[in-house]
Amino acid sequence: MLVAGREINGQTRSDKTDISNYLEDENADADEHFISQAATNNFNDVVYWNSE
């Protein structure tokens, strides 16, 4: 599960059809590969995964 976090770097939630207004970098390209890293001014997605 991906949690987008608050708007950063010019993202605007007025356009709800553009995933890049919610997710950053590798998480915003609609494939099966995601990244998790410490929050910065340019990245605030939170990635949860179930290892079962």
Using CB under 5 A, list all residues that contact Ca ion.
4-5, 26, 29, 31, 33, 44-45
Nearest approach, Cβ of 16 to Ca ion (angstroms)?
Answer: 14
Nearest approach, Cβ of 30 to Ca ion (angstroms)?
Answer: 7
Closer to Ca ion by Cβ: residue 18 or 29: 29
What's the rounded Cα separation, in Å, for the pair 46 and 38? Answer: 9
Query: What phi and psi values does residue 24 have, to the nearest 5 degrees?
Result: -115, 160
Nearest approach, Cβ of 29 to Ca ion (angstroms)?
Answer: 4
Going by C-alpha positions, the residue among 2, 36, 33, 35 that lies closest to residue 19 is 2
